[in-house]
Amino acid sequence: MDCSLVRTLVRRYCAGEENWVDSRTIYVGHKEPPPGAEAYIPQRYPDNRIVSSKYTFWNFIPKNLFEQFRRIANFYFLIIFLVQLIIDTPTSPVTSGLPLFFVITVTAIKQGYEDWLRHKADNAMNQCPVHFIQHGKLVRKQSRKLRVGDIVMVKEDETFPCDLIFLSSNRADGTCHVTTASLDGESSHKTHYAVQDTKGFHTEEDVDGLHATIECEQPQPDLYKFVGRINVYNDLNDPVVRPLGSENLLLRGATLKNTEKIFGVAIYTGMETKMALNYQSKSQKRSAVEKSMNVFLVVYLCILISKALINTVLKYVWQSEPFRDEPWYNQKTESERQRNLFLRAFTDFLAFMVLFNYIIPVSMYVTVEMQKFLGSYFISWDEDMFDEETGEGPLVNTSDLNEELGQVEYIFTDKTGTLTENNMAFKECCIEGHVYVPHVICNGQVLPDSSGIDMIDSSPGVSGREREELFFRAICLCHTVQVKEDDPEDTIDGPRKSPDSKSCVYISSSPDEVALVEGVQRLGFTYLRLKDNYMEILNRENDIERFELLEVLSFDSVRRRMSVIVKSATGEIYLFCKGADSSIFPRVIEGKVDQVRCRVERNAVEGLRTLCVAYKRLIPEEYEAACNLLQAAKVALQDREKKLAEAYEHIEKDLILLGATAVEDRLQEKAADTIEALQKAGIKVWVLTGDKMETAAATCYACKLFRRSTQLLELTTKKIEEQSLHDVLFELSKTVLRCSGSLTRDTFSGLSTDMHDYGLIIDGAALSLIMKPREDGSSSSNYRELFLEICRNCSAVLCCRMAPLQKAQIVKLIKFSKEHPITLAVGDGANDVSMILEAHVGIGVIGKEGRQAARNSDYAIPKFKHLKKMLLVHGHFYYIRISELVQYFFYKNVCFIFPQFLYQFFCGFSQQTLYDTAYLTLYNISFTSLPILLYSLMEQHVSIEVLKRDPTLYRDIAKNALLRWRVFIYWTFLGVFDALVFFFGAYFMFENTTVTSNGQIMTTNINMMFGNWTFGTLVFTVMVFTVTLKLALDTHYWTWINHFVIWGSLLFYVVFSLLWGGIIWPFLSYQRMYYVFIHMLSSGPAWLGITLLVTVSLLPDVLKKVLCRQLWPTATERTQARNKCLSVEQPTVFMLSQTSSGLSF
């Protein structure tokens, strides 16, 4: 018996071995390792099926119903429907069941169709053919049958079927190129590297003979992180252990390019692939409008319960008098007389709840969802937000936050790639005080390929010349740039010898690196290629120099530097390091630091991006120690990143400074105009960047975030070193509050010239001190409050030297401050994702740093300038439209139900309905639904051009202005007033009645047949016309489709009523509405009464609008007065004819 197997099982399952939880072991090709190695234990992994669908054929109905009834409104109406079924209620269960059924069915059909499309896509993906290696031969199977450990062959232009460890390719150097456009949107080619010991396996037989095991981390969604190691067994010797990182991992969804074929082993399959793990949706964000809507629903629910309680109590008070409880025409049975009083009261309470339940608008949720979904297309179809240069347009990743775009109070923006173009141009380099500028203009002539123009002192001597060439070699070698191979045969025969910049096309994930390599190329040194682990450069004498690439110490945002260790042809070993000045200077022990620092600071003030370059020579013993240290860190499965960081810190020290580079990142088109417009709109703009303070401040001046009159306040590490944090904060607080109090919101725009305009600059280290928890918790809290108070009174804030997590911390700090402002974060890179997810609204710029930000955002735009129209136009319209929709829904339902409440006082609280069942059912579904939906999609209270020209109009809707309690109460009381007019106006028309000879009851004043259904129909007719015309009064932007829907809805009501009451319907058990509507309209006084009641109902709202516009006009109303004849652009969604609004107020 194999004791090792038992021992391993006991250790793993009983002893709880830590690595068993955190890692997995994969047997390449399902081959058992040689004897003496760890026992072969088959593990269960999921197959390669991708399941993005939500439902199956069997669980669709129960699962979908469960999800829909989790919504409070749907669940509430289900309870009402069940109550109607169980007890004797005044209305038919159809009146609640049909609208609920309609809402549930429409939503289920929509979700079912979307899921069917997902099933279709999943099947296409799971059934695509994949080439496996089995017994040394290629076998073709469906993708879903692939298992962890299978060896797969992928050909050029095919996508990888699962996550693979790259074993070998047809290339001799063991590399391949891939594009990850479907994963992160980056279309540039990325180079991946095969395992060193397997890159020579070029045939199926070679690969099938591989004996190896792979230990790696459990699946996790980070696309750019992977930790593992491979044990390759050669004969009976100890296995060769090689580290595995993200450069060895080929992700599902990526595409193989410029490589004939590759072999790889599957390590993550199906729903464990990184692509599938990234399917998981982000946390749900809720808009301020949605929160207000839910609060209003609770208020109306309380009103509903109050109405039911009042009617229940009054019913028993009224019935307490003799003969009222049991009139002669409605004698009770013996069982009814003996029924418990409390049970009867509770049943009556439920009956009244059912009678008044329509005050809660169930169809509002469906209308809001349709409005958000359809309205989001206005952004996608906006041609003004389409960028011709990149061919990109705006993207809407979620439509739930459309109206939130009109409520933004704080904008947090990245600098590089967001405010700037991320299109780097090499400007100069400084080597030991000597400045080199390519293509310098000297005496009116351009000097191409200038070898260096001294702009400070005399030209460098012999030793300076050596340092100069060493600097250029460092730039040519210390990078991760790829050379695009236009002609593969050229690269096989030999490297290009021409130093012409057009002959080499450089590709890199960092635009800075490309700019530096191209800039040094113009100064005489050309990077040619990386071949067989040798980097080739062409020097000024057109000689090729070859350096063996020994190690790459990768760049990361914490270290802010990268290094390479290379070996020259003469055997000398160099470490070249480049990075931010704050990262390089503390590690330098030699070089002209002061001269270089002076030049770096000068370039930073001019807004240039600077990097410092240093080097040191390594003796073989030092390199051997460094190599061992790195190898130990690379093969670690636990805390690999931490161990690598410690190794890098140990190696990158005692450097000799060579010089610095300066790269220009130009400001994006109209970035300054956009920021100025946003500030005029009352929005505070903060810039969060990882750049140094001087560079970021120069950019802020260029984009008009800071003005020349702005007094800059610093909260930086340098300042805190001179004084304590406590003193600095209190000093800044006194400064900003020295004037007559805090700045008001109106001064945020910087338009006020008679008050101080403050700008705050804070760095990452200072922020860490403010956010750092202390033993005295109150002290830490006080620092935050003081910091927030300073920020509130500054027109703009610049946060520099920020780590990605700190960006999110800043957003969170403002987001949860006592004012709870609406925040928006905009960025273009992976380092901006954290703040984009943290903010109320996240916007990604489709930039050159990939699409990680765009993928994780709520909305994506091609350029920063498009933010102006997205907020000031689209956001403004969205908020105006949906706030009217919400208020209007509550208003029309108050108009609908309050007459029913009043009617109970005239029918002995008998729970008699005022309206017919058909009217109860169709009021919200048909008669009043389409006009408000079209209004909420197309209303433009002012023109697009006016909104773009006058950003201050954005302030009129700030702080959820149209959904405040004052406005909500106005709409509610307006509904109550209109309901009183409907009911009592109709009541007084029916006041005097006589009995005719044939027994009919007729009104003496208008000579119309009197009855319960006639009275209710009259009230209902006045109500439908009033609420529809109320919306017409609020409409400013009229098109043929508005006319069609508004007047068509009224016509539909009339036609339906004529048909409903003009025909004896055989499927109905009652014919109570027969001839009622027709007889009502046959009376001339009824027409006059309807007209008068509609006019009286609308009159208060008209008077209020006129008086408010004359006495207390808002900025928007003043603008409307100046632009009486609006010239409105046609929306993209419909090519609509325009008409002027004769009904707008």
The runs of H, that is alpha helices, within 494-615 are 511-522, 581-584, 593-605
The answer to whether residues 610 and 660 touch, using CB atoms and an 8 Å cutoff, is: yes
1107-1112-1114-1117 Cα dihedral, nearest 10 degrees: 30
- Residue 769: in which H helix or E strand, if any? helix 764-771
- β-pairing, 758-763 vs 711-715, is parallel
> Is the separation of the CB atoms in 491 and 529 below 8 Å?
yes
Residue 938: other Cβ atoms inside 10 A: 22
Give the span between the Cα atoms of 871 and 337, in whole angstroms. 66
**Residue 607 buriedness (CB in 10 A; 0-12 / 13-18 / 19+):** buried
Q: At what angle do helices 764-771 and 804-815 cross, to 10 degrees?
A: 50
| Pairing relationship of beta strands 151-155 and 129-134 according to DSSP bridges | antiparallel
DSSP strand pairing (186-193 vs 261-268): unpaired
Instruction: Round to whole Å and give the CA distance between 900 and 357.
Output: 11
Structural contact between residues 211 and 31, judged by C-beta atoms closer than 8 angstroms: yes
The residues, any chain, with a CB within 8 Å of residue 788's CB and separated by 6 or more, are: 813, 814, 817
**Could you tell me which residues come within 8 angstroms of residue 152 by beta carbon, excluding any fewer than 6 positions away?**
130, 131, 132, 133, 146, 161, 162, 164, 263, 264, 265, 266
Residue-wise DSSP of 371-438 = HHHHHTHHHHT-GGG-BTTTTB--EES-STTGGGGGS--EEEE-STTTTEEEEEEEEEEEETTEEE-T
Question: Strands (DSSP E) along 117-238, which ranges?
Answer: 129-134, 137-142, 151-155, 163-169, 175-180, 186-193, 212-217, 228-232
> In 66-93, which positions are buried (b, 16+ CB within 10 angstroms) versus exposed (e)?
eebbeeebbebbbbbbebbeeeebbbeb
Residue 187, SS3 per DSSP? strand
Would you say 1013 and 1021 are in contact if contact means Cβ atoms under 8 Å apart?
A: no
Q: Which of 478, 310, 507, 477 is nearest to 905 (CA)?
A: 310
End-to-end CA distance of the chain: 93
Tokens for 167?
Answer: 């074993």
- Please list the active-site residues: 414
Rounded Cα gap, residues 443 and 435, in angstroms: 18
Cβ-contact 915, 903 below 8 angstroms: no
Radius of gyration in angstroms for the set of CA atoms belonging to the chain, rounded to a whole number: 37
CA distance 845 to 857: 9
Distance CA 495, CA 285 (A): 54
- What are the structure tokens assigned to 644, written together? 């690598």
Helices and strands counted in the chain (H then E):
40, 40
The answer to whether 799 and 390 have CB atoms below 8 angstroms apart is: no
* Crossing angle between the packed helical segments 929-938 and 876-903, to the nearest 10 degrees: 160
CA dist 251 → 204, 262, 510, 608, 724 (Å): 22, 13, 21, 36, 50
What residues contact residue 862 under an 8 Å CB cut-off, 6+ apart? 385, 386, 387, 390, 392, 393, 394, 845, 846
